[in-house]
Amino acid sequence: MNHRYKQNQNKPLITNSFIAKKRLGQNFLIDTEIQNRIVSSCDLHENDIVLEIGPGQGALTEKIARQVKSVIAVEKDRTLAKELQEKYHGSNIKVLCADFLKYSFDELEGDIKVIGNLPYNVATPIIERLLENRSLFTFVYITVQLEHAQRMVAKPASKSYGSLSCFVQFYSNTNILFKIGSQAFWPVPKVQSCFMKLEILKDARYRVENEALLFSIIKNAFSQRRKTIVNSLAGLVGKINIIDLLEKLNISPKLRAENITLKEYVAITNKLAQERVN
């Protein structure tokens, strides 16, 4: 079902007849106070280059552009992209019509700040893609579903702690800056949102012999949350005695995935890689 965007006193429409597309996860931020609060939270400077994900109607785009060197805005919706391209032609705003998950980073150079109101349905793959290309970025400021953000910042021994928590925290410092009520958007979503900050680490949080193995271990462990770490990792370690390996690391074999810290997952990975070599 599509939702017709209502006229808002604070932000006139680009196109009064525009219909929000549910398949694109479009929820437009229409609260001017929240828009201003977001921009002021991004610590922008005149020499900054900003990559904006999903500018939509440009609610944040122009406010950002006033404070930085340039903005590269990637918008998937063809109608909105065309409108923004015409509106900002000749300015320091470059609007590209593209799916961010397929957008090539080849033209980008390092030290870029990312700002975006992420569609709820593709927030995880967008964040994963940003972190996989983290050498290009310094900070990521994003609006996401509150529950999703809570998973990213979660600590061990909590229900929200999982593989996403470990992945994001391995590469960045995470912080929820403020919550955003559903009435700040149109169409009004059924969930609460928040604005959060990821500070990209220059080096991964811990040294690990094999990152692919690390995240394979983590995903396997959390896919079987009710099992102990011994049982959840049994299929990955082959002939290696996982109980002996854990005891050498002073990690109880009776622990479950959510009770093991990221640092301990790294230690398990490094020890397992060492055991495989020997």
What value does the mean pLDDT of the chain take? Answer: 89
Quote the Cα angle for 265-200-221, to 5°: 20
pTM of the predicted model, to two decimals? 0.90
Residue 188: what are its φ and ψ, rounded to 5°?
-70, 120
> 227-259, pLDDT tens digit by residue?
999 998 887 776 578 889 999 999 999 999 999
**Domains of the chain, residue spans:** 3-200, 211-277
Listing DSSP states for the chain in one string gives: --EEPPP-SSS--SSTT-EE-GGGT--EE--HHHHHHHHHTT---TT-EEEEE--TTTTTHHHHHTTSSEEEEEE--HHHHHHHHHHTTTSSEEEEES-TTT---TT--SSEEEEEE--GGGHHHHHHHHHHTGGGEEEEEEEEEHHHHHHHH--TTSTT-SHHHHHHHHHEEEEEEEEE-GGGEESPPSS-EEEEEEEE-SS-SS--S-HHHHHHHHHHHHTTTTSBHHHHHHHHHTTS-HHHHHHHTT--TT-BGGGS-HHHHHHHHHHHHHHHH-
Listing DSSP states for 93-131 in one string gives: EEEEES-TTT---TT--SSEEEEEE--GGGHHHHHHHHH
Neighbours of 212 (CB within 10 A): 9
pLDDT at 83 over 60: yes
pLDDT at 15 over 80: no
Confidence tier at 199 by pLDDT (50, 70, 90): very high
> 170-182, pLDDT tens digit by residue?
999 999 999 999 9
Percent of the chain with pLDDT strictly greater than 90: 77
CATH number of this structure's domain 211-277, picked from the four choices 1.10.8.100, 1.10.1740.10, 3.30.465.10, 3.30.1600.10: 1.10.8.100
CB 65 within 8 A of CB 91: yes
Confidence tier at 276 by pLDDT (50, 70, 90): confident
- Per-residue pLDDT, 186: 80
Percent of the chain with pLDDT strictly greater than 70: 89
| Equal fold, 3-200 vs 211-277 | no
Provide the CATH number for the domain formed by 3-200 in this structure: 3.40.50.150
